[in-house]
A and B are shown apart, each in its own frame.
Chain A
Amino acid sequence: MAEKEHAHGGYRLYWVTWLWLLILTIFMIGFEVLHLPRLFLVLALVVFMLTKAAFIAGNFMHLRFERLNLIVMVVVGLLITGAVLFVLIYPDGLRVLQLSKAS
């Protein structure tokens, strides 16, 4: 019985995380509906998006309970490569836009 109670107590983390994800999603939609200034909206949504991603990876995928080597491999691998992709590709998008406007 005690083991069963412990097992059910272990589920709390997932439902607390679910609640946070729900709250963050409601905030994101609320910000979208309020038509806030574009720069503020973009920054706020990106911060909320990364927070939600951290909640899912850390609590649902148990990454924060894993060994540091694994955390570094996953987080750094994805973040650095993702950031390099965006940094390399985005400026080209703006250049194409300028060229299409100039022609």
Chain B
Amino acid sequence: MTESHAVEMTAESVWGGGVSPFGVSWRKLMMWIFIITDGLLFAGLLAGYGFLRLASPRWPDQAEVFYIPFIAFMTFVLITSSATMGTAVGAARHGDRRWIVRGLALTILGGLTFLGCQAYEWTHLIHEGARLYTNPWGVPHFTACFFVLTGFHGSHVLSGVIILTVTLIRTLLGKATPEGVEIAGLYWHFVDLVWVFIFTLFYLL
């Protein structure tokens, strides 16, 4: 058998059905596919923001509009919640129920803290006169981008908190599987991943 024939046979056996070419269960694969499509949604939103920003003759200085240390604190909360989520996933793999519960509870607490901070930030800006298409800084697109980007992300954080709460209840009832915790974790880490891009591209640059 030639080498090329062997490679062809191996590829055929992997993609020919009967085995998973990705080496993961269908539930986990579906979550990855969802993450890709949802990631593209955010890529589209960020590309739209980039277009509006480039097309605007001027753009407000973010440091004058936002209190950057507060946004940094929100980032800290989210990355810490990702670490606690990772701890829960690790515990689920090792069957350590006590740490699954602790990890999930701390992650939910982190998510709620982030949402509280975001609600405060929105309220503060709205009190300053920020609306979807008008604001005191003279660039209408600025607040449109802000509300759409952070609003979509915030809705994902809220969804994540709900998913994690359900996972926590299922763990307490003894119904959660290690894979279920891992899939919930994938979603939560994705929410953190998206924030890395929003924090850099919208708040810092």
For residue B42, give the distance in angstroms from its CB to the closest CB of chain A. Answer: 9
Bound form: Cα–Cα A11–B103 in Å: 11
For residue B64, give the distance in angstroms from its CB to the closest CB of chain A. Answer: 13
Q: Are A49 and B200 in contact (CB under 8 A)?
A: yes
Q: Which secondary structure characterizes the binding site on chain A?
A: helix
Q: Are B86 and A14 in contact (CB under 8 A)?
A: yes
Q: Are B76 and A61 in contact (CB under 8 A)?
A: no
Q: Are B55 and A96 in contact (CB under 8 A)?
A: yes
User: B24 near A: Cβ within 8 Å?
Assistant: yes
Residues of chain A within 8 A of B43, CB atoms compared: 78, 81-82, 85-86
Q: Are A89 and B50 in contact (CB under 8 A)?
A: yes
Q: What is the 8 Å Cβ interface bit string for chain A, positions 1-39, against chain B (1 contact, 0 not)?
A: 001101100110111011001100100110010000000
Bound form: Cα–Cα A61–B14 in Å: 24
Q: Are A17 and B35 in contact (CB under 8 A)?
A: no
Bound form: Cα–Cα A66–B31 in Å: 14
Bound form: Cα–Cα A75–B203 in Å: 25
Residues of chain B within 8 A of A78, CB atoms compared: 36, 39-40, 43
- B residues with a Cβ closer than 8 A to A are 14, 21-24, 29, 32, 35-36, 39-40, 43-44, 47-48, 50-57, 63, 68-69, 72, 75-76, 79-80, 82-83, 85-87, 90-91, 93-94, 96, 99, 185-186, 189-190, 192-193, 196-197, 200-201, 204-205
Please provide the 6 A-B residue pairs with the shortest distance between their CB atoms, ordered closest to farther: A93-B54, A14-B86, A7-B94, A18-B83, A67-B23, A96-B55
